[in-house]
């Protein structure tokens, strides 16, 4: 993905316009959810926004439910995978709420790089992530505009990209076998979420990511 692409500049401008409108209408930080399927370009857009306005970026993937054994994800139904994919309570209490109160947020990131432990779970990184408060709190991640955080989110943004384009972007990033298994587990979850839980029409703002 090329951040200098005019489409990304246009998407960034549209989100910034809505952020400025919210900041002008109310005191305190605003929480923006950048949502979209895997490979949509959420982190690309988050970086562009952060380069234009003081922003506290929270990568939602940091809060993956690492304590759930790998084989349990296959046993879960699609609905259960969506329900449990992130530690929503820890995301709220360790990251979002401190920033809303004007305090530094501090949390531990799940340690994907070290691989699975003997019990099929992932550990956590030893050094915590820390983010300073800012007027804009940006949630960078799929499902960030879902019902679990709806009471905290002021602006729900969908980055709309075709599944074919998103899969093409993901292909060079990961091992082929890993990615095939990942698609089997999580493509149905994304379909459920973006069809039934958060369809396109339910978002406050839809921008193109291609």
Task: Judge whether 120 and 71 are in contact, CB under 8 Å.
Answer: yes
Contact between 113 and 79 under an 8 Å Cβ cutoff? The reply is no
Reported as a pLDDT band with limits 50, 70 and 90, residue 179 is confident
Confidence of residue 39 (pLDDT cuts 50, 70, 90): confident
What is the per-residue pLDDT across 109-157, written as a single tens digit (0 to 9) for each?
999 889 899 999 999 999 999 999 999 999 999 999 999 999 999 999 9
What domains can you pick out in the chain, each with its CATH number? 6-208 (3.40.50.300)
With 90 as the cut, is the pLDDT of residue 19 above it? Answer: yes
pLDDT value of residue 171: 78
Overall pTM > 0.75: yes
72 burial via Cβ count (<10 Å: 0-12, 13-18, 19+)? middle
DSSP letters along 61-78, please?
GGGB-TTS-HHHHHHS-H
CB 176 within 8 A of CB 126: no
pLDDT at residue 3 is higher than 70: no
């Amino acid at each position: 993905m090329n951040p200098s692409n005019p489409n990304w500049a246009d998407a960034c401008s549209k989100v910034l316009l809505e952020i400025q409108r919210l900041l002008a209408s109310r005191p305190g930080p605003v929480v923006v959810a950048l949502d979209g399927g895997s490979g949509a370009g959420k982190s690309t857009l988050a970086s562009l926004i952060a380069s234009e306005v003081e922003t506290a970026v929270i990568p939602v993937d940091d809060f993956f439910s690492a304590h759930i054994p790998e084989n349990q994800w296959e046993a879960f139904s699609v609905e259960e995978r969506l329900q449990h994919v992130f530690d929503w309570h820890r995301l709220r209490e360790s990251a979002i709420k401190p920033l809303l109160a004007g305090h530094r947020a501090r949390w531990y990131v799940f340690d994907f790089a070290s691989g699975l432990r003997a019990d099929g779970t992932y550990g956590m990184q030893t050094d915590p992530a820390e983010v300073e408060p800012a007027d804009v709190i940006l949630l960078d991640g799929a499902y960030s505009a879902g019902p679990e955080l709806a009471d905290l989110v002021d602006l729900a943004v969908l980055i709309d990209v075709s599944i074919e384009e998103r899969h093409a972007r993901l292909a060079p990033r990961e091992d082929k076998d890993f990615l095939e298994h990942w698609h089997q587990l999580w493509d149905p979850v994304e379909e459920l979420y973006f069809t039934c839980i958060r369809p396109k029409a339910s978002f406050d703002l839809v921008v193109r990511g291609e």
